[in-house]
Amino acid sequence: MSFEEINSVSCEFFDSHAHYYDERFFGEENPEGAEALLSTLFERGLLGVVNVSASYADALKVIEQAKHFERVYAAVGVHPEELENGGLGYIEQIERIRALAQSRDENKIAAIGEIGLDYYWRQDNKAAQADCFVRQLELACEIGLPVIIHDREAHGDCFETVLCYPEARGVFHSYSGSADMARELIKRGWYISFSGVVSFKNAVKIKEVAAVVPDDRILIETDAPYLAPHPFRGSLNHSGRLFYTASALADARGTTVDNISAITYRNAKSLFGI
Ligand SMILES: [Zn+2]
């Protein structure tokens, strides 16, 4: 990772969704490792990161990194693509995550996530995905934590499912649904988070959504190492590139990058209780 690139734009954003334990942060694209990169980003003004797990094994990693950095927080949950992981089924993984969440302060757990439905990769296990999703929505409601929702090509079912839990709070991460669905979610207290996708030239629909989300419900994220914004599309993403996503959001909303930084930081603190 080049320091020159990180020094060229502001890093003063709160990244509501990243995966800093991913092996790409320890490979040839970033030979110094995730911790060196995060240290540099925090020196440059990064406001905070929610480090999001996809399985029980990842949950242990996000907690370890959260304990290492004052402004890194953990989200623990089983992603719909990880119903089986490390020899554990999702029911066992959720039970172990429940045990971690019982020490939520010590483990710096800010949310249950990412959880949800993914019909892009698989549609043959919809019932198991749904069961995994609702068990974790119930866990989040029981212990009073917000949730981070992964919804890929499953908008209708994700929407119907969260409506069954009116007491649940949380965010639809890297939102890809319609403006109408966003309005309905916002009415019910949900937050909408935008990734680098909003900066892509062909992202017409998502720019429309970005224009209608009210100031008090918008979040910004990298989904690092994935979804690098234009002009870095396809390369290793990191929180030092939120500026480019914020610029696209500012254009869509007719405001400034500084305003996007301020409102998304305030909303992250409010949602995640930090
Ligand atoms: Zn993610």
Give the pLDDT of residue 83.
Answer: 97
User: Would the pLDDT of 3 be above 90?
Assistant: no
Using alpha carbons, select from 176, 179, 181 the residue that is nearest to residue 200: 176
Is the pTM for the entire model greater than 0.85? yes
Distance 53 CA to ligand 1 centre (A): 8
Dist. CA 135–CA 273, nearest whole Å: 22
Using alpha carbons, select from 265, 169, 222 the residue that is nearest to residue 52: 222
Distance in Å from the first CA to the final CA of the chain: 29
Give the pLDDT of residue 8.
Answer: 84
Average pLDDT over residues 120-130: 96
Peptide bond before residue 225 is cis, with ω within 30 degrees of 0: yes
pLDDT band at 6 (very low <50, low <70, confident <90, very high): confident
Dist. CA 72–CA 53, nearest whole Å: 13
Distance 18 CA to ligand 1 centre (A): 6
* pLDDT tens, residue by residue, 49-85: 999 999 999 999 999 999 999 999 999 999 999 999 9
Q: Are 148 and 113 in contact (CB under 8 A)?
A: yes
Give the pLDDT of residue 7.
Answer: 73
* pLDDT tens, residue by residue, 158-169: 999 999 999 999
Distance 41 CA to ligand 1 centre (A): 19
Domains of the chain: 3-272 (3.20.20.140)
Distance 82 CA to ligand 1 centre (A): 12
Radius of gyration of the chain (CA): 17
Distance 167 CA to ligand 1 centre (A): 23
Dist. CA 42–CA 68, nearest whole Å: 12
* pLDDT tens, residue by residue, 153-198: 999 999 999 999 999 999 999 999 999 999 999 999 999 999 999 9
Distance 17 CA to ligand 1 centre (A): 6
Beta-sheet pairing, 48-52 with 14-18: parallel
* pLDDT tens, residue by residue, 18-52: 999 999 999 999 999 999 999 999 999 999 999 99
pLDDT above 90 coverage of the chain, percent: 97
Distance 243 CA to ligand 1 centre (A): 19
Distance 150 CA to ligand 1 centre (A): 7
DSSP character for 98? H
Give the pLDDT of residue 150.
Answer: 98
Q: Are 203 and 178 in contact (CB under 8 A)?
A: no
Distance 181 CA to ligand 1 centre (A): 21
Residues 6+ apart with CB under 8 A from 173: 16, 17, 52, 113, 114, 148, 149, 150, 193, 195, 221, 223
Distance 149 CA to ligand 1 centre (A): 9
User: Would the pLDDT of 1 be above 70?
Assistant: no
Distance 256 CA to ligand 1 centre (A): 26
DSSP character for 231? T
Using alpha carbons, select from 190, 60, 187, 87 the residue that is nearest to residue 137: 190
* pLDDT tens, residue by residue, 131-143: 999 999 999 999 9
Distance 21 CA to ligand 1 centre (A): 12
Q: Please give the order of strands across the beta sheet that includes 48-52.
A: 14-18, 48-52, 72-76, 109-118, 147-152, 170-172, 191-194, 218-220
Distance 223 CA to ligand 1 centre (A): 5
Neighbours of ion ligand 1 (CB under 5 A): 223
